[in-house]
Structure 1
Amino acid sequence: MDAKFNLSDDHCSRGHYRTKLSKKVTAGLLYQSHGKSAIPLVSLSRNDGEIDGILADVPHYEHLELVDCCNGLALCKYRNSFTSPSICRFVVCNPAIRQWRIVPDTHCATDDPPCVTFLAFDPSWSPQFYVFNFHQRHHHHLILGTRKLEIFFSGCSAWLVDETWNSEITFSGRKPRLFLNGMLYLETTGHQVLAFEGLEAISNGIPPYHWTITLPDDSLYVCDFTHGCFCKSSGILHYALPDDNGRSIAVWSLDHAWHLWAWNVKCHLSMKDAFGRNDFVYYNDGGLDGESDWFWNCDYRIVALDLDRKLLLLFDQKTDNLLLYDISTGKLHEIRDSFQWPHNCYFYYVPCYSELPAQEQPSAY
């Protein structure tokens, strides 16, 4: 059996996996409830409902932690009762074709706060994948930036430490990220988008180049209180965020000309028409002696946007329901009730039928 199907003492076969999964893997939302090990898939089709056991045969499933998902691949941490707290272990999975690949161990100081980790993969650009692991810098439990960046490249099966990395950049909550045309975009605190390019040079031991892009001016107030969403269309990065009144969602495109980057409004998606009302936003004051009407709150949150499929996933904070908005028709449908958004780790998932790159012997940079 090829190494990518048998990378641990656990054994699986495609036939066994197909028998165990009674439903076809479809586009949807991979999620993991807080404190749970199961990782189900909520299908975007109302007829499919929820698919259980999508990663049930991945090695060390009983200790899997869903970390990220990118263009059909899922990144998980795994451990057992004998794993040292200073060791980070990852596995990259392709649920659609029942494959996984173990990533070599990496290490972190035991007194670190959790690392922030992202997966970068796009089969239309390269069959290889990358794992970006940011070690946060802290003082008295306050996150002050990232003290180290290490990147795993599947082509060399090794981690590269960016020795030049020295940044005040921080990540908080569920900030959006996207891998497109060989570039990784990560929203950071401070209204910035961190962009990486030149990932091909990692095979030669050269870390990728990075720079920042400021979010659209019209988004800066609202993005302090809720998360936006990245998506792609026609090979262009887009950013979506509710308007300050919540009655529509603004979608910007990031255009590049003459070495300049600029955000331009592409469209507005009417939430007033979708929900049949216009009272979405309310405010809380700033606390003791704080300003009144300071903290912006909206009854819904953006979960994912897929402009190519003309689909928008929303979470209704009043009903705890997961909703699907059809951009073509303007109709809103419930696809999952009692989703308990604050207690779930979730990622938009579209199946990929490209095989994982073969396991190579680790090399030192």
Structure 2
Amino acid sequence: MAAAGTLAAAPPIAIGRSSSPRTAMAPGSKEKKKGVEGSQVDKLTDDILADIISRVPYKSTCCCKCVSTRWRDLFSHPDHRKKLPQPLAGFFYEGYNRDRFPRIARYFTNVSGKGEPLVDPSLSFLPKYSSIDILDCCNGLLLCRCWKFTDPKMLDYVVCNPATEKWVVVPATDWSSNVDVARLGFEPAVSSHFHVFEFIGEEIWGMDESEQSDWDGRIAAVATYSSKTRVWTHQIQTVDINHFAIPTHSKGVFFNCVMHLAAFDRMVVTFDVEGNLLYIIGTPHSPPYYDDSPVNDVFVSQGQLHFASNTRSDSDLSNLSVWVLEDYSLGKWTLKHTVSHLQLFGTDYSALDYNVISFHPECNMIFIVYGQENTLVSYEIDCMKRRFLRQLGRDCQLEHLSVDAKTPFIPYVPLYMESSADGP
């Protein structure tokens, strides 16, 4: 299956029709009258026009939809959606209600907060399993943990594409049924192949108790699977040096062929596709802060790694800070924006009860869930404007998990081009 190539930027093109006055023909002129002609762009075929638009940044493509009816229809045509960049569609999430069966339910909410879900959260196109957990989403592909009917302790990993309803089964390892953190790496601009990462704790790995560190949940080994080779490989982490533990719902960020995850003790750990630890990067923080502050996630937006820091204070100084990683080797972060909790949520709100669930991949916008009703809002950094999207309800808080566990919200961007998740 051919990999999608990296596209060079297209030269600027003029859009719209020419406003130059037409030269009137003298009476009796031998030149034939012609109909009103549009710009040179109007002469391009749909295929050529779609190829040009696919090479410009996503923010520009949003403007392209408003040029004309033809351009709008171009974006919705199935043959062209494979080439054109797609917007953030919405979020998968789960809810827990002890008064219903099944107690755990999966939902999808559109990024607008309105209308019927754009994606069927049940993933009904997948084979029948006892239960299905969505662990991660990366550039349009979902990583699912699918428990078998025959044995409740046996599972498959399934990597699927909801936009095309295609999937492939990834065989489980000896540790998969006990692993808390597994993530997906996929960059369609680099390759059509994906990678699965398993982060295996010391106890699960089988280390003797006397050899285990004092850190609960410390990662002893990283297993990686490549859809190209179709085999798992394992890398054992150095016990004496690389002490880190990864929260169960730490978001995986895969770009530049590197997996990034926020870890405990205010750090970001990064791995290559073979499971080798590349960098341990300290995360930025500004006093006052507390040792029991929740672990904040990392996100990728506009080709850069971002970090959202929740600064807690007993005074009115509590705020949310947005940072951008400028230098990997030096661990240099630059403060991009700060907004007070008062501005975000108003005077009658407890500033400790919220999560940043996503950054928009193509613009300066973040998404936040807060409060007992799990209210979803967006916040535009450039204009410092908060927008209410919807209340997700109390049952989307996973009460069956520990108090420290965060409700997992998984952002989804559709993928219409082929990948190795579409089968051999």
The alignment's TM-score, normalised by the length of structure 1, stands at 0.74
Matched with 2:267 is 192
Matched with 1:272 is 342
Q: How far is the alpha carbon of 1:260 from its aligned partner?
A: 2.3
- Selected match of 2:172 from 86, 105, 111: 105
**Cα distance in 1 for residues equivalent to 2:408 and 2:311:** 25
Matched with 1:151 is 224
**Cα distance in 2 for residues equivalent to 1:94 and 1:223:** 40
Structure 1 pair 308–147 and aligned structure 2 pair: CA distance change class (3 A):
same
**Cα distance in 1 for residues equivalent to 2:166 and 2:237:** 35
* One-letter amino acid of the counterpart of residue 387, structure 2: L
- Contact 1:315–1:341 (CA under 8 A) maintained in structure 2: no
**Cα distance in 2 for residues equivalent to 1:317 and 1:146:** 32
**Cα distance in 2 for residues equivalent to 1:255 and 1:223:** 25
* One-letter amino acid of the counterpart of residue 241, structure 1: S
- Selected match of 2:92 from 30, 33, 51: 30
Structure 1 pair 100–131 and aligned structure 2 pair: CA distance change class (3 A):
same
* One-letter amino acid of the counterpart of residue 264, structure 1: T
Structure 1 pair 278–268 and aligned structure 2 pair: CA distance change class (3 A):
farther
Structure 1 pair 302–340 and aligned structure 2 pair: CA distance change class (3 A):
farther
Structure 1 pair 353–190 and aligned structure 2 pair: CA distance change class (3 A):
same
- Contact 1:232–1:307 (CA under 8 A) maintained in structure 2: yes
Structure 2 unaligned regions, length at least 5: 2-85, 97-101, 204-208, 399-406
The alignment's TM-score, normalised by the length of structure 2, stands at 0.64
- Contact 1:65–1:76 (CA under 8 A) maintained in structure 2: yes
Structure 1 pair 217–302 and aligned structure 2 pair: CA distance change class (3 A):
closer
- Selected match of 2:106 from 30, 39, 44: 39
Matched with 2:418 is 355
Structure 1 pair 42–223 and aligned structure 2 pair: CA distance change class (3 A):
farther
* One-letter amino acid of the counterpart of residue 92, structure 1: V
**Cα distance in 2 for residues equivalent to 1:271 and 1:163:** 42
Matched with 1:162 is 235
Structure 1 pair 263–278 and aligned structure 2 pair: CA distance change class (3 A):
farther
The count of corresponding residues between Structure 1 and Structure 2 is 311
Give the structure with the larger strand fraction: 1
Matched with 1:14 is none
Pair 1:331 & 2:401 matched: no
- Contact 1:247–1:278 (CA under 8 A) maintained in structure 2: no
Structure 1 unaligned regions, length at least 5: 3-23, 282-297, 361-365
**Cα distance in 1 for residues equivalent to 2:190 and 2:105:** 31
- Selected match of 2:322 from 251, 255, 264: 251
- Contact 2:337–2:381 (CA under 8 A) maintained in structure 1: no
* One-letter amino acid of the counterpart of residue 191, structure 2: S
Matches within 5 A, 1:154-233: 154-163=227-236, 166=239, 167-197=242-272, 199=273, 202=274, 207-218=275-286, 221=289, 224-233=292-301
Once superposed, which parts of structure 1, at least 4 consecutive aligned residues long, lie more than 6 Å away? none
Range with bigger deviation, 271-280 or 50-59: 271-280
**Cα distance in 1 for residues equivalent to 2:237 and 2:310:** 37
Q: How far is the alpha carbon of 1:275 from its aligned partner?
A: 2.9
Cα RMSD (Å) of the superposition? 3.2
For the residue of structure 1 that corresponds to 2:173, the secondary structure is strand
1:20-60 per-position Cα deviation (integer Å, ceiling 9, x unaligned): xxxx9961111123465653311012332435634111113
- Contact 2:188–2:419 (CA under 8 A) maintained in structure 1: no
Q: How far is the alpha carbon of 1:131 from its aligned partner?
A: 0.8
- Contact 1:32–1:66 (CA under 8 A) maintained in structure 2: no
Structure 1 pair 122–278 and aligned structure 2 pair: CA distance change class (3 A):
farther
- Contact 1:89–1:106 (CA under 8 A) maintained in structure 2: no
Matched with 1:126 is 191
**Cα distance in 1 for residues equivalent to 2:323 and 2:354:** 19
**Cα distance in 2 for residues equivalent to 1:223 and 1:340:** 29
Range with bigger deviation, 76-85 or 267-276: 267-276
Matches within 5 A, 1:234-313: 234-245=302-313, 247-256=318-327, 259-277=329-347, 280-281=350-351, 298-306=352-360, 308-313=362-367
Matches within 5 A, 1:17-96: 27-34=89-96, 38-51=105-118, 53-54=120-121, 55-83=123-151, 85=153, 87-96=154-163
For the residue of structure 1 that corresponds to 2:281, the secondary structure is strand
1:298-330 per-position Cα deviation (integer Å, ceiling 9, x unaligned): 132212122623332211224332223344540
For the residue of structure 2 that corresponds to 1:107, the secondary structure is coil
Larger Rg belongs to = 2
